[in-house]
Amino acid sequence: MSLELLSEDVVPEHARGVKREAREFAAEHIAPNAEAYFRSGEYPWEVLEAGMDAGLVAQDVGEEYGGRGLDLAQILAVAEEFYRADAGIALTLQLASFGAEILEQYGTDDQKERFLRPVAENDQLTGLAVSEPDVGSDLAGMQTTAEEDGDGYVLNGEKYWIGNGVEADWVTVYAKTGDTDDRYMNYSLFAVPTDADGYDAEHIPEKMGMRASKQAHVVLDDCRVPGENLIGSEGAGFMMLADFFNHGRVVVGGHGLGLAAAALEEAWAFVHEREEFGRHVADFQAVQHGLADMRTEFEAARALNYRAAEKVKHYDNPGLWAAMAKTKSTEVAVQNAERGMQFHGGRSVLADRRIARVYRDVRIPVVYEGANEIQRNLIYRQSGE
């Protein structure tokens, strides 16, 4: 008795084709390699390259610059399929163009040709450098500085948890350029080549989950970039980033949906095969109720997430809907993983079990793209708008 989740009915019609592509790719390339990459903790270059060949990496960039122009609902549909197969590899695939959307929206034509096109054409990788060793969710509290000097800027500071900080060809760096009373107008964004003098990155210590995705500790020591590498207007970094994260949080909701689906599918399959006290574990009413709750919460989160995608697309109170979708979907993933572990009993702690891998991975999306406690602040404040 199998359970098939992530149906197409709630997905907008225009996103169903790429969703099928993502499901087929995940079954062929992600799921079979998930355990090996989790164990090794190595960067999954060959899966990433296969994703590029399949047209499923960095394709949120517009066709004008070499991408497919996939919109938010399409990227969400891809995300839930990838994360259902494996969160670590999935994160690597989606981080390949992380932050590029900002440059596409606010950058100059020259910047788009120099930085955006190579990413869309899968010749380069990029990343977004916002968080710092001592500051995470407080976007107006970052300490890295960018001081104007002649015809350029000199960056100093540290960034932490930076996806592709080592592997990327360039990263978008969020740095303080002002010191006004309005703390939200003091930050700017810069395209920083990773081979620039003064840019140094190393992988952070090994993580307990999503081990196939690599994050870096970046040190900027008098790192000079030309003035033309400023993205958009000086002082507008916070506003640009806040808008970008509305899109990103909907996609992170998709991360949660994929993980929640994986946990439920694993638990469902296990309890229908496992026998205790002369009958299948699934025959116990307590287990049936647990599975019913897992399914109900999953479907509720998924409906909210796709509604949020539409709200963000049309700028209809996007911050509220993005925060609700991210919070609900990632927390349902945690709940489903915990219950799935319980239903697996002692076998849940075996390292080769998919449910154990999911259990480790779900701890991460409730924190990245703004911890869920911060999302609740946003939900409360923006509910009255």
289-298 residues labelled b (16+ CB within 10 A) or e (exposed)? ebbeebbebb
Return the CATH number of 126-235, one of 2.40.110.10, 3.30.70.870, 3.40.640.10, 3.50.50.60.
2.40.110.10
Adjacent-strand bridge partners of 171: 127, 192
| pLDDT for res 194 | 98
Tokens coding 43: 């960067």
The length of the chain, given as a count of residues? 385
- Report the pLDDT value the prediction gives residue 149, as an integer from 0 to 100: 93
Place of tokens 């970052």: 142
Active site residue 369: yes
Would you kindly state where each structural domain of the chain is located, as residue ranges? 13-120, 126-235, 239-383
Please, what's the b/e burial string for 123-149 (b: 16 or more CB within 10 A of its CB; e: otherwise)? ebbbbbbbbbeebbbebeebebbbeee
Q: Is the pLDDT of residue 123 over 70?
A: yes
Least confident piece of the model among 242-256, 284-298, 303-317:
284-298
Annotated catalytic residue within 132, 266, 297, 369: 369
CATH-assigned architecture of domain 13-120: Orthogonal Bundle (1.10)
Residue 277: band (very low, low, confident or very high) from pLDDT cuts 50, 70, 90: low
- Dihedral angle over CA of 18, 315, 126, 138, nearest 10: -130
DSSP string over 154-199: EEEEEEEEEETTTT-SEEEEEEE----S-GGGSEEEEEEETTSTTE
Looking at residue 284, its pLDDT comes to 76
The rounded distance, in Å, linking the Cα atoms of 79 and 94 is: 8
In this predicted structure, what is the pLDDT of residue 166? 97
CATH class of 239-383: mainly alpha
| pTM for this predicted structure | 0.95
CA dist 251 and 72 (Å) reads 8
Q: What is the pLDDT of residue 351?
A: 73
Taking the C-alpha atoms of residue 60 and residue 280, their distance in angstroms, rounded to an integer, is 45
345 has pLDDT over 90: no
- Residue 280 predicted with pLDDT over 80: no
Output the pLDDT for position 4.
83
- Which residues does 380 contact at the CB level (< 8 Å), separation at least 6? none
> With contact defined as beta carbons under 8 Å apart, do 105 and 64 qualify?
no
Residue 348 pLDDT: 67
Residue 323 and residue 331: Cα distance in Å, rounded?
12
Residue 263 CB partners (closer than 8 Å, separation 6+): 294, 333, 336, 337, 339, 340, 355, 358, 359, 362
> What is the percent of the chain with per-residue pLDDT over 90, rounded to a whole number?
83
- The pLDDT, as a whole number, for residue 135 is 76
Q: Name which residue leads in pLDDT, 267 or 345.
A: 267
Cα-atom radius of gyration of the chain, to the nearest Å?
21
Question: In this predicted model, which residue has the larger pLDDT, 110 or 350?
Answer: 110
Residue type, 384: G
* Of 308, 355, 349, 358, residue with least CA distance to 328: 308
Place of tokens 């010191």: 179
* The two structure tokens encoding residue 340: 């799935």
- Alpha-carbon distances of 188 from 183, 232, 249, 352, rounded to whole Å: 12, 8, 21, 45
Instruction: Report the distance separating Cα 280 and Cα 116, nearest Å.
Output: 54
The band of 56, judged by pLDDT with boundaries at 50, 70 and 90, is very high
Rounded Cα–Cα distance for residues 261 and 196 (Å): 42
